[in-house]
A and B are shown apart, each in its own frame.
Chain A
Amino acid sequence: KQEVTQIPAALSVPEGENLVLNCSFTDSAIYNLQWFRQDPGKGLTSLLLIQSSQREQTSGRLNASLDKSSGRSTLYIAASQPGDSATYLCAVRVRSSNTGKLIFGQGTTLQVKP
């Protein structure tokens, strides 16, 4: 059974710091991994999608890496800003029927202080 774990559960950093959020999964048989951002009381916004054959994806100040064999992904945020404060969720897409399903970690709540 696939399990997704995110460490740390919460993180507080001063503005401008570079930071890394970690995600691990127990079964390497995944189709892809997706990082989301969730603001309080809001929905999920997709940040990056990494296919199982890829090693990393970049979007602006965000860089996500994937090491499928070790069951790990990291989300790197460069030069953090107060507007980056949110909960970050990683999810892996696993085999279930013919379309798969997303299994989520419990998230890392990030606070960036001005």
Chain B
Amino acid sequence: DTAVSQTPKYLVTQMGNDKSIKCEQNLGHDTMYWYKQDSKKFLKIMFSYNNKELIINETVPNRFSPKSPDKAHLNLHINSLELGDSAVYFCASSQDSIYYGYTFGSGTRLTVV
């Protein structure tokens, strides 16, 4: 199936740990994104990569570090997890052209205890 896939779907971890979320798209899109959905369901962009190059970094703590090994993958690594990091993280992708829409993954629910 053509899609944006994220792993894991659920992640429960203790404060202070380091964790990673992986994202892969097989749609041939050039741009990938990470969005965070908070407890009030509000979605906000965190990062955007275009052909492995970081192009958007939205005032996210530097404990969050995205990595794009190739244009089909965008992983999110989080250091020293805090309670406030608990949220649902969505990966998305889009064509280079501004005239195309976004395709989202199914999300990763991160719970920090």
Contacts and interface: CB of A to CB of B under 8 A. Distances in A.
Nearest to A48: B101
Interface in A24-43: 31-32, 34, 36, 38, 41-43
A86 to B, nearest CB: 12
Interface in B77-113: 90, 92, 94, 96, 98-107, 109
Q: What is the interface of chain B mostly: helix, strand, loop, or mixed?
A: strand
A69 interface: no
Contact of A32 (B35, B101, B105): B101
Interface residues of B, number: 28
A36 B101 CA distance: 10
A44 B56 CA distance: 21
A79 B56 CA distance: 41
Given A32-B101, A43-B90, A93-B98, 13 more contacts: A31-B98, A38-B41, A44-B104, A46-B101, A46-B103, A49-B101, A87-B41, A97-B48, A99-B48, A99-B50, A101-B48, A102-B33, A104-B43
